[in-house]
Amino acid sequence: MTIRLPTSPVSTLLKRVLGRAINVAEGGAAVKRAVGRRGDVLTIASRRFDLRRYDRVVVLGAGKAAASMARALERLLGNRLEGGLVVVKYGHAVPTRRIVVYEAGHPYPDRAGFHAARRLMRAASTLSKRDLLIVLLSGGASSLLPAPVPGISLSDKQRVTRRLLRSGAGIQEVNTVRKHLSALKGGRLAAMTSARIVTLILSDVLGDDVSAIASGPTAPDPSTFRQAVLCLKRRRLWSSVSPSMRKHLDRGCRGLEVETPKTGAPCFRHVLNVLIGSGALAVSEAARAAREAGFRTVIHSINLTGEARLAGAEFGAMARDLRRHVKPGRKPCCVITGGETTVTVSGQGRGGRAQEFAVAAAQAIAGLPNVWVAAVGTDGTDGPTDAAGALVSGQTAAQALRNGIDLNAALKQNNTYPILKRLGAHIMTGPTGTNVNDLYVLLVF
């Protein structure tokens, strides 16, 4: 992975900070830390699995980091691995030997993901209690594995996903709806196989709730049909979803459709869910790198939420207080935050939450000397763009004005990508092999 930053006095430092954070959370590295093998004994989270007891060892999974996770597991298992398949976002595949890697759409599900999900479900359903199934999950898996229940079409799922994301709904709301329209999510993958399941999870969800990550295909689901309906009504989407979808959810509320499996369901007796990485790990490593570089470093939060532009404005506002306390001869300051903001889409532009965060922060720090804010998605793609995020400074707003760029209009139209490109402010990484929320870094010299 190569991190490309705008030329600035802080570029070298930020490359080190962001690189360390992303590398520690990379899918392959996370698997290597969590899984060990000695002879025929596989060790995962202090649990030992004697491979001689299993007829087959199969790997299935999905997510932006699933291919890098799969490659690391292939190397550990060697010829003891029969095979498997994982699904990743377009452009996020890496070479593998025994595990087939499919590419599909994200954040909006597509037909490639639909067919891959069918293959994954067929593979899982053929396994017996004499088999070991290792499931690999990371952020993005919900969109990459669309498996609508009978009576609901893929286009129905595509429309409701698009509308939920554009409404500013949080990931918990989106996943509550997804689970109750899916034959795979919300614990249903665990229910469709008799195999012993170990799920390795790279979290992109604040709080690391395994029932929410990738919509929890192997975890008990605490949400209900009624909550799914309430989510759609809260976002004023209930009347706009398809009649077949409303019928299915309404039947679920009346007990005429089977609920997602809950805690204590028999299907979870043979499941072990293991968290192997998260945003907290990336934030901690970023802070360690900044301290080693001589910065007074503070972790402000690892659970930042809310509208991206409001969060960016508040983050930038902290720079004004810090600016007053950074005197000549004192160590420069670094504030690091991690989280998952949202964007309520009202315009027709192009951008992403990290880019909106950065533009709002640029307005908040306008005119401040020696102040920079970086906002970056750890997966390397912010929204439906090729940028990971952006780096802005106290001079960015003035630069925009000189170039006839209206930052307020860009935010209003959700059109931050073109203006940040004109300003040369983008951070580019390409696919990183991980996905553990966003990182925000404030530097004050």
Q: What is the pLDDT of residue 328?
A: 66
Domain boundaries, the chain: 11-278, 280-444
* 332-352 pLDDT tens trace: 999 999 999 999 998 889 999
Q: Find, among 387, 359, 383, 385, the residue nearest to 373 by Cα.
A: 359
Cis peptide before 222 (omega within 30 of 0): no
pLDDT at 169: 87
Predicted confidence at residue 8, as pLDDT, reads 94
- Classify domain 11-278 at the CATH topology level: Rossmann fold (3.40.50)
Record: fold of 280-444: glycerate kinase, domain 1 (3.40.1480)
Specify the pLDDT at position 172: 85
Question: What pLDDT, on the 0 to 100 scale, is given for residue 107?
Answer: 87
Q: According to the model, what pLDDT value does residue 101 have?
A: 98
Tell me if domain 11-278 and domain 280-444 are identical in fold. Answer: no
- pTM, full prediction: 0.93
Q: What are the residue ranges in the chain where pLDDT is below 50?
A: none
pLDDT, position 387: 98
